[in-house]
Amino acid sequence: MNKKGKKMAISKKLLEKYADLIVRTGANVRPGQTVQLVIAVEQHAFAEMITEACYRAGAKKVNIDWSCDAASRLHYLYADSAVLETVLPWEEEKMRQMVKDLPCRIFIASEDPDAMAGIDPHKLSAVMQSRARVMKPYRDAVDGKHQWVIAAYPSEKWAKKCFPEAGDAVDRLWDAILRTVRVNEENDPVAEWKAHTDFLETKISWLNEQGFSSLRYSSANGTDFTVDLIPGARWSGAADVNSANGVSYIPNLPTEEVFTSPMAGKCEGTLVAVKPLSWNSQLIEDFSITFKDGRAVSCRAGKGQELLEKMLAMDEGASRLGEVALVPKDSPVNQCGFLFYETLFDENACCHFAVGMGFKEVLPGGVDMTMEEAGRCGINDSIIHVDFMVGADDLSIDGIRPDGTSVPVFRNGTWA
């Protein structure tokens, strides 16, 4: 019970169980490692739980970066763009230290999906572009060489966005989050995640055995699309491995996807989104993107047209694809029956693509490549990586082998 006598949405025991899953199965914090936790100021009590779980796992030091949606909105409302675009010396030094320490990074998502509603999209994109250009080399330097995980904690504004008419919105969102991450009072979530990752591994192995040169998508909603794959690139999913120390971890809780990076600049056709996209805390709805010669050449949106156009023009690689991901429509996220307004969840509801940055680690020896070297192999480079969902209930996907033979991969939105 809280101070007002209302039943808490989640017991302390269950919350500690969830925190332990994030730390030990998600990030898989090892003795002697430094941890960098990114979390909203409103979730300070959960930050305490995560911090303690990290120390119990043997962490050397836990550093916390606090975020605040309300303050971020005020910055965009009142501060000049030039001020917001500037990366201060101490910020860059912090990134240099991250490259040196290679900390485990834990991100707790709890953002208000409407935090930036009404903010000038030109200002948002300009600030993001300027800061990302400075920060990107440091992010590239740690890519594949540290453990990280994104999980979620429901804020009241996020919950109200998902369930606007419900008096128990936070409770409902908690229930959905815990179901999708396989945590309840009775179970052993570590064992359940082991079984889940083993299942995804069977799909990964099958896809890698096929050696598809391209995938062909079709749906009655207008999706008609073909994307080329990189010869020799591997499919991946769920668990990943830190190349610096060989430690396995699960970057996303939840995760239902099997993914790879396609050949940059080699796709044709139209992709119709089946769910809204929350980007920079603003919504893009009822949209589609048409590609020609591997690049987005047109787009339309019922809401957020200008924002979508800005996103696809963030840099040279923003209009090309960086990821193709397969997710069956019967995933636990989709079975929740509502839109989360958070890409961590919504991308795990159904099949999706991402424009922007690709994953060099899908290449043999890719972790040790520079982005320029990976780019010559077909990996797209960009300052953004934005997922959007295309997995309609009737979606069909065929894998095309180099000899032209076709193999069903998905039928009616799920594995064939």
Note the pLDDT of residue 368: 87
CATH 3.10.180.10 applies to domain 12-180: no
Task: Indicate if the pLDDT at residue 1 is higher than 70.
Answer: no
Arithmetic mean of pLDDT over the chain: 94
pLDDT at 7 over 70: no
d(CA 48, CA 385): 30
Backbone angles phi, psi at 26, to 5 degrees: -70, -75
Q: Give the per-residue SS3 of the chain.
A: CCCCCCCCCCCHHHHHHHHHHHHHHHHCCCCCCEEEEEEEHHHHHHHHHHHHHHHHCCCCEEEEEEECHHHHHHHHHHCCHHHHHCCCHHHHHHHHHHHHHCCEEEEEECCCCCCCCCCCHHHHHHHHHHHHHHHHHHHHHHCCCCCEEEEECCCHHHHHHHCCCCCCHHHHHHHHHHHHCCCCCCCCHHHHHHHHHHHHHHHHHHHHHHCCCEEEEECCCCCEEEEEECCCCCCEECEEECCCCCCEECCECCCCCEEECEEEEEEEEEEECCCCEEECCEEEEEEEEEEECCEEEEEEEEECHHHHHHHHCCCCCCCCEEEEEECCCCCHHHHCCCCCCCHHHHCCCCCEEEEECCCHHHCCCHHHCCHHHHHHHCCCCCCCEEEEECCCCCCEEEEECCCCCEEEEEECCEEC
Predicted confidence (pLDDT) per residue in 204-248, tens digit: 999 999 999 999 999 999 999 999 999 999 999 988 899 889 999
Q: Given this model, what pLDDT does residue 192 score?
A: 94
The token pair that represents 346 in the structure block: 């919504």
* Distance, CA of 56 to CA of 23 (rounded, Å): 10
Whole-prediction pTM: 0.88
**Whole-number percent of the chain with pLDDT over 90:** 90
Reply yes or no on whether the pLDDT at 2 is more than 50: no
Q: What is the mean pLDDT of residues 117-131?
A: 91
pLDDT of residue 9: 64
pLDDT at position 372 is 92
Residue 283: closest CA among 415, 112, 155, 409: 112
For 131-142, write each residue's pLDDT tens digit: 999 999 999 899
Residues in the chain: 416
Question: How many CB atoms neighbour CB 187 within 10 A?
Answer: 11
* pLDDT tens for each residue of 163-197: 999 899 999 999 999 999 999 999 999 999 999 99
Across residues 371-385, what is the average pLDDT? Answer: 95
Q: Where are the domains of the chain?
A: 12-180, 210-235+255-415
pLDDT at 3 > cutoff 70: no
pLDDT digits (tens, 9 = 90+) for 291-336: 999 999 999 999 999 999 999 999 999 999 999 999 999 999 999 9
Categorize the per-residue pLDDT at 4 as very low, low, confident or very high, splitting at 50, 70 and 90: very low
Q: What is the pLDDT of residue 374?
A: 95
Q: Give the pLDDT mean for 59-70.
A: 96
Indicate if the pLDDT at residue 8 is higher than 90: no
